[in-house]
Structure 1
Amino acid sequence: MNHGTLKTALALAVGLLGGCSLIPDYQRPTAPVADSWSSAPVDAQALLPWGRFFKDEQLKGLIGEALANNRDLRVALLNIEKAKAQYRIQRADLLPTVDASVSGTHQRTPADLSTTGRKQTTHSYEAGVGFTSYELDFFGRVRSLSQEALEEYLQTVEAQRSTQISLVAEVANAYYQLQADLQSLALSDQTLESQHQSYLTTRSSYQEDVVSELDLSQAESTVRSAQASQAQYQRLVEQDRNALVLLVGKPLTAEQMAPSASAALALDAALPAGLPSQVLSQRPDILAAEHALKAANANVGAARAAFFPSISLTASAGSASGQLGELFAGGQGAWSFVPSINVPIFNWGRNQANLDVAKVQTSIEVANYQKAIQEAFREVADGLVARGKLDSQVTAQQLLVKANDRSYDLARQRYETGVDTYLNSLDAQRNLFASQQELVGTQLARSQNLIALYKALGGGSE
């Protein structure tokens, strides 16, 4: 076989790649959820990118650095590169691997084994190009495996998107937790200062026999309670900062974790919801589950193809000679063409078992896909239910703080004029502080709910 014959054989082999495919026709499973959320708005819009959804420039800077430095996200990106390389490896099996080789063989044959009755020493040299055991993909086995590898690669891409959205949400939650604890710490500082001044006044009054020892003891207890609260929030603030450093993946400056103005912390509450088919189908975790299902479906095709004969080709063309100096001389051309066919006859049910495994795996991936949709639907439904209630709760809590503040002012005035006891003033102050702390917690819960809803709806691309 000369070089032209080898090229013809290669062209024939490549032409046979368009054989049949035994991959089952893919049908997207029915989503096992309702057509819409009971509390969803009518209109569906595209989600805002996180850079527009979050208003706080300090938070946006932290998210940007986390996307560049976070180790979990870096692992996800490396998994994409790994899956891409694996797909290229599997894709390469669709075409024959052509190698060039030069070899020499030296052999000595003893006299009693020689056909001439005398010992012989022979030498042979070969140079050529060719391919070995190239499978003609008549029944689509190799293409099915290639399709499976492609879907697995696409699955890792969606997994990386899911990791990125989760990271954005985690950084935002950690940041808002830090800001809430900083607000609570500031309230504790203010309360401690106020109660300390009240204690000094009460102590002076006690020394002048104006108030009882009970009043002095109660004033001191409020100071100790405020000191404990202050220490608690100092600890929480440091822990929040440590959590942010871990998420961002690098040390942070004091300015990057400083308190922000309340206006900067506001989130866009007008989140769209729409129908599940318009929103949930774009969530990366659901897309990843569907790619896993498609990969399992392609593997069924490969398992089916194992029941059919496989045809392999080995071919080479080049020069051969007994003398190295005459290897490329005229008339030294050599070629070989070795087709082979392997017909499965009896393998103790191995092929059928492999097909059964592939089919069961497909059923598993269908269940995983539908479960992912159900979980996503519940996340959005829970977020929508909590959204309106938390808005009402924040409004009510703000009114409660205002009422407690007025009550404390009146109780303090009554005590200072001798109309009422110190205990009533103390209770009013405690109620004010507790309602202020509760307001901070409720505002944090509302922000975290909006972040969770933003994540549940699939996030927005930056």
Structure 2
Amino acid sequence: MRRVSLIAAAVSVIATGCTMAPKYERPLPPVAASFPTGGVYETQPPGAHNANGVAAADTGWRNFFVDARLQQLIDIALKNNRDLRVAVLHVQAAQAHYRVVRSELFPTIGAQAGQSKQRTPKDLSFLDQTISNQYSVGLNGAWEIDLFGRVQSLRNQALAKYLATAYARKAAELSLVSQVATQYLQVLEADDLLQVTQQTLKTARDSYGINKLKFDNGTASELELSQSQTVVESAAANFQAQERARAQAVNALVLLLGEPMPAEMTGGMPLDDQHLLTDIPAGVPSDLLTRRPDIMEAEQNLLAANANIGAARAAFFPSISLTGSFGTLSPSLGGLFKPGSAAWSFAPTITLPIFEGGQNMANLDLANVQKKIEIAQYERAIQSAFREVADGLAARGTYDQQIAALTREVSAQQRRLDLSTLRYKQGVDSYLGVLEAQQDLYSTQQMLITARTERLSNLVSLYQALGGGWIEHTGDMPREADAPVAASAG
């Protein structure tokens, strides 16, 4: 039954000149028609630096990131990052493979010249001529007539794989822009944490000095002295851990850059002044199909699997090859181009599979299963993209309120510390109240810095999730997925 259906498909191929690959139909996106709205998904009001309704894919990374130092780092990474360089080389390799497969659609023609010398036993020779010579010069050619679209299907598969590799390279570039920005924010976060820790350490040492003087004078207990020392040692330990974290964050950033950190750079902005775009429109999930290179990569892999079915089907039918040659033959070198020395040959060949131990049927079954796998991978890519955007929108709708609440808490904790210190100095409360206030203030300050970093990192991730980071300036013409990184205009 399956062979009958394949024969019917072959008749259709011959009539239309197409391949035997099944008609491609893009799977329906397995997600909701719109992103979640309301509640935590409410978009924040635009700030002084807003997107003006421009989609992420059309927003240049220099317009999204306003920090001149960060822009310089991204520019360096795009030119020197080794992972991106490998991705570009994979594209070149896939392109070369595509050209190799495409060449099989055309005839091969070659020139040849040769001499053959043969000795025949005397009793078998003609007129006692035991040595014979033959000289030849001519052209030979071969061509497989792709009657059932096997070679064309393989060509389509190679093209789709090439495009998938190009989109993978584009996804790697978007990811690199996002990674550099996120890592840069980690360095700025470490700077802010070190500043807070230094301030806390100074205050703790001042308090310890006062308590040490009181203890030496007999007006403070050893318990109060030990309590003040715990704050000093805790802050000192945190300071070393944060110094280490900052150094490691810089090392990670250098790895992304692909070269040592430049000695001279344009002045950067502190964490609080990183005014990233907060109101980039999310659009609808169907927009992701043309804006997310990872989704387009998955679809090209699906198209390649679809084309492979055509090649597997064509293997059930005859293959027709034409080979021939034209030139001259002569028993002597001087007679090669004399009249009457022309020679030619023509040898068409038809090969029909009769018994192959089930190999062709197994290849077809394998091709069908691989297509089902690629369909699932494509749908998974869409679902993952939907989740990433939805997560980004949920975070964008809550971080501002969280930061505002933490800012108020820091003010309240600072006031609490001031009052606790005053009450301790007046002898109303013990030093334990000051100790708890110091620790709570320090903890809240760190939470505020972390929340600010996470808010900015989320905006960067959302920018990438919506397809942003491919063009340098808003309004630039988008490059093709296999195009090199454009020279920076600053």
Q: Same fold (TM over 0.5)?
A: yes
Report the equivalent of 1:224.
233
> In 2 relative to 1, CA 53–85 (structure 1 residues): closer, same or farther, beyond 3 Å?
same
> How far is the alpha carbon of 1:227 from its aligned partner?
0.7
Report the equivalent of 1:301.
310
The percentage of counterpart residues that share the same residue type is 46
1:428 aligns with 2:437: yes
Report the equivalent of 2:153.
144
The residue type paired with residue 168 of structure 2 is: A
Report the equivalent of 2:88.
77
Contact 1:44 1:274 in 2 (8 A): no
Report the equivalent of 1:86.
97
> In 2 relative to 1, CA 44–344 (structure 1 residues): closer, same or farther, beyond 3 Å?
farther
| CA distance in 1: counterparts of 2:271 and 2:455, whole angstroms | 14
Superposition pairs of residues 4-403 of structure 1, within 5 angstroms: 19-39=17-37, 45-47=54-56, 48-112=59-123, 114-116=124-126, 118=128, 120-132=130-142, 134-253=143-262, 260-403=269-412
| CA distance in 2: counterparts of 1:258 and 1:245, whole angstroms | 18
Task: State the SS of the aligned residue for 2:470.
Answer: coil
> How far is the alpha carbon of 1:253 from its aligned partner?
4.0
The residue type paired with residue 251 of structure 1 is: P
Residues 271-318 of structure 1: per-residue CA shift (max 9 Å, x gap): 221111123442111100100010111111111111221111111112
The residue type paired with residue 408 of structure 2 is: L
| CA distance in 2: counterparts of 1:72 and 1:422, whole angstroms | 55
| CA distance in 1: counterparts of 2:18 and 2:83, whole angstroms | 42
Contact 1:44 1:273 in 2 (8 A): no
> In 2 relative to 1, CA 280–27 (structure 1 residues): closer, same or farther, beyond 3 Å?
closer
1:404 aligns with 2:413: yes
> How far is the alpha carbon of 1:210 from its aligned partner?
2.8
| CA distance in 2: counterparts of 1:398 and 1:334, whole angstroms | 94
Residues 101-155 of structure 1: per-residue CA shift (max 9 Å, x gap): 111111111234x2538461111111111213x1011111111111111000000
> How far is the alpha carbon of 1:257 from its aligned partner?
11
> How far is the alpha carbon of 1:45 from its aligned partner?
4.4
Task: State the SS of the aligned residue for 1:191.
Answer: helix
| CA distance in 2: counterparts of 1:98 and 1:41, whole angstroms | 66
> In 2 relative to 1, CA 276–326 (structure 1 residues): closer, same or farther, beyond 3 Å?
same
Contact 1:142 1:302 in 2 (8 A): yes
Contact 2:70 2:268 in 1 (8 A): no
Structure 1 residues without counterparts, runs of 5 or longer: 1-15
Structure 2 residues without counterparts, runs of 5 or longer: 1-13, 44-51, 472-490
| CA distance in 2: counterparts of 1:118 and 1:103, whole angstroms | 25
Residues 161-207 of structure 1: per-residue CA shift (max 9 Å, x gap): 11111111111221111111111011111111121122222222222
The alignment's C-alpha RMSD in Å is 2.2
| CA distance in 1: counterparts of 2:184 and 2:265, whole angstroms | 10
Report the equivalent of 2:481.
none
> How far is the alpha carbon of 1:255 from its aligned partner?
5.7
User: Which is worse superposed, 425-434 or 146-155?
Assistant: 425-434
> In 2 relative to 1, CA 192–287 (structure 1 residues): closer, same or farther, beyond 3 Å?
same
> How far is the alpha carbon of 1:419 from its aligned partner?
3.3
Contact 2:105 2:152 in 1 (8 A): yes
Give the TM-score of the pair, scaled to structure 2. 0.86
